[in-house]
Structure 1
Amino acid sequence: MLEKRVLAAAEGLTVEDVLCTSRRSSWTAPEPTTSHSIVFVRRGCFRRRVDGVESFLDPVSIYFERPGQEQQIAHPTEGGDECTQIALNRTVIESVWGSDFLPPTGPIFTSAAADLAHRQLVSSLRSGDVLELAERVVRLLAVVRDGGTRIRQRGRATTAAARRRVVDDAREAIAGQPTIGLFELARVVAVSPHHLSRIFRAETGETISRYRNRARVRLVLERLADRERSLARLAGELGFADQAHLARVVRREVGSTPSALRSSLGI
């Protein structure tokens, strides 16, 4: 079941909360997209198919919609997902990205700074200040422009598709079990640890451990936004050695301590 709720709107843009409570499912029927949008995954994971090309989405990635596409969604795991969808008109897009901007056809990885700016935007919507909304959206788009990394697609089509499938399956496993280790992850995706490490870096541009930390920090931000008070409990659930380890990783990724992040998220 899909629920959409408008969080805020200003001239040229609308911010919506998109909550999907579907159980594990196969592909939905094709649905047309009607706007230029950028979609941030806040929680959960899913697969998206556009024009026959599949991609995997989780809180480390974002994707773009443009009018006239037909998309399908599948949920490989239980628990549903929650996203922030920012619909933009061409004036807003061109003010940040230029008149010749063409949205990427596939998802991109976002920096921790972009994800934090997105969550701060969602938190700030409580104020109802339309000017602040517009300013924050423009800043967020600039951060995405400067810090996004296109998810790579290289090699012969069949080989590249096979590699992408293995890497997407690994990302799905990390999303569902953020404490997973290399050897268990390799068993899940049915390749050797060495092969997995090599193709993961080739496809994503980073190591598995680095990617897992990025994914875990997104979970930390989501839990802090949900007013989680116990960092020790959070560290244990997400597989950090202790609270200090969690704080170090968060600071390295975002540049702020968990306590400072609480303040920036309005908590």
Structure 2
Amino acid sequence: MSGDRRVYLREDDVHLVDVRCGSTGPGWTPPRPAPVFGLVLLQGGVLRGRVDGVEHVLDSASVYVERLGAEQQFAHPLGPDAFTEIVLSAPRVADLLGGDLAVPEGLVMVTPELSLAHRMLLARARQGAEPFELAEATARLAALVFARLAPDRADSGRPASAAARRRLADDARAALAAEPTIGLTALSRAVGASPHHLSRVFSAVTGTTLTAHRDRLRLARVLDRLSGGERDLAGLARELGYTDQPHMTRAVRTTTGLPPGRLRALLTSPETAL
């Protein structure tokens, strides 16, 4: 689909795009094969789709699963539309479907959980969330969609035992401790699991998301460096993978209630020493 596209996440296996479609004509777009595997989640309004000759009504209570190569046309009966598009690589689709790349036809009807996950992802993207957080949230949302589309196949990739799940979570924790700035895709490759499976297993084993765990590790690094009197806050922010110094300051203040400069003063003051 085309339109005014704002790309929030662009990785090898997944793109997250906010689209404003400017088409206002009542007729159908010319037929063309779908160029990608994708998930289209309307933010409001109604979109009509014709996929391999079969017509569908798409609305904000459904998800259109775009199958690579399927002939598709669209019409905008109520005027311009806004939607979220998640573009997935073939390996990522196969992973979400138990190793089989064949994508079942049909729409996915959204659940309250899926609808909230979509809106939360979109809100965090618009607020400027980091790629790691967006990648994990996008993986969770895509997994929810495919679990509705093909539940038996989506469940087939679960680790076989509690011990295997613990090992995977431990491996991820070790990798993050060694390099808290690592991206989600690189982390997944390092532990030999897909982002979707890694995120799901990590949350189940530890009770927290990969993003939250990574943020705690980075905060610990910040506090350690501030305890040593670190004054180059801009350099520290770059080193730990924050967007910039203000981003690090907001993250630290949100977690501790104090900005880095004040924390440094407290942590290096003789009166606070044991």
Alignment match, 1:161: none
Q: Match of 2:120, as an amino acid?
A: Q
Deviation at 1:142, TM superposition (A): 2.4
- 8 Å Cα contact 2:90/2:101 also seen in 1: no
The question of 1:87 aligning with 2:87 is answered yes
Tell me the alpha carbon deviations over residues 30-61 of structure 1, each in whole angstroms, 9 at most, x when there is no partner. 12321111110111111101111110000000
CA–CA distance in 1 between the matches of 2:23 and 2:63? 20
Gaps of 5+ in 1: 151-267
CA–CA distance in 2 between the matches of 1:21 and 1:42? 14
* Shift in CA distance, 114/5, structure 1 to aligned 2, threshold 3 Å: same
CA–CA distance in 2 between the matches of 1:67 and 1:144? 17
Q: Match of 1:135, as an amino acid?
A: E
Tell me the alpha carbon deviations over residues 188-244 of structure 1, each in whole angstroms, 9 at most, x when there is no partner. xxxxxxxxxxxxxxxxxxxxxxxxxxxxxxxxxxxxxxxxxxxxxxxxxxxxxxxxx
Q: Which has the higher contact order (CA 8 A, sep 6+)?
A: 1
Alignment match, 2:74: 73
Q: Match of 2:86, as an amino acid?
A: I
Q: Match of 1:14, as an amino acid?
A: H
- 8 Å Cα contact 2:49/2:72 also seen in 1: yes
Alignment match, 2:108: 108
**TM-score scaled by length of structure 2:** 0.50
Alignment match, 2:48: 47
CA–CA distance in 2 between the matches of 1:92 and 1:39? 16
Deviation at 1:111, TM superposition (A): 0.6
Q: Which entry has the higher C-alpha Rg, 1 or 2?
A: 2
CA–CA distance in 2 between the matches of 1:17 and 1:133? 13
- 8 Å Cα contact 1:43/1:81 also seen in 2: yes
* Shift in CA distance, 148/70, structure 1 to aligned 2, threshold 3 Å: closer
CA–CA distance in 1 between the matches of 2:115 and 2:150? 13
Alignment of 1:238-253 (within 5 A): none
Alignment match, 1:123: 123
Look up the SS of the partner of 2:139 in the other structure: helix
- Please list every run of at least 4 consecutive aligned residues from structure 1 whose deviation after the TM superposition is greater than 4 angstroms: 147-150
CA–CA distance in 1 between the matches of 2:147 and 2:34? 26
* Shift in CA distance, 110/101, structure 1 to aligned 2, threshold 3 Å: farther
Q: Match of 2:3, as an amino acid?
A: L
Alignment of 1:220-231 (within 5 A): none
- 8 Å Cα contact 2:108/2:145 also seen in 1: no
Alignment match, 1:229: none
Tell me the alpha carbon deviations over residues 142-192 of structure 1, each in whole angstroms, 9 at most, x when there is no partner. 222344699xxxxxxxxxxxxxxxxxxxxxxxxxxxxxxxxxxxxxxxxxx
Question: How large is the Cα RMSD of the aligned pairs?
Answer: 2.2
Deviation at 1:95, TM superposition (A): 3.2
How many aligned positions are there? Answer: 149
Q: Match of 2:49, as an amino acid?
A: R
Q: Match of 1:98, as an amino acid?
A: G
Gaps of 5+ in 2: 152-274
CA–CA distance in 2 between the matches of 1:120 and 1:4? 19
Alignment match, 2:36: 35
Look up the SS of the partner of 2:114 in the other structure: helix
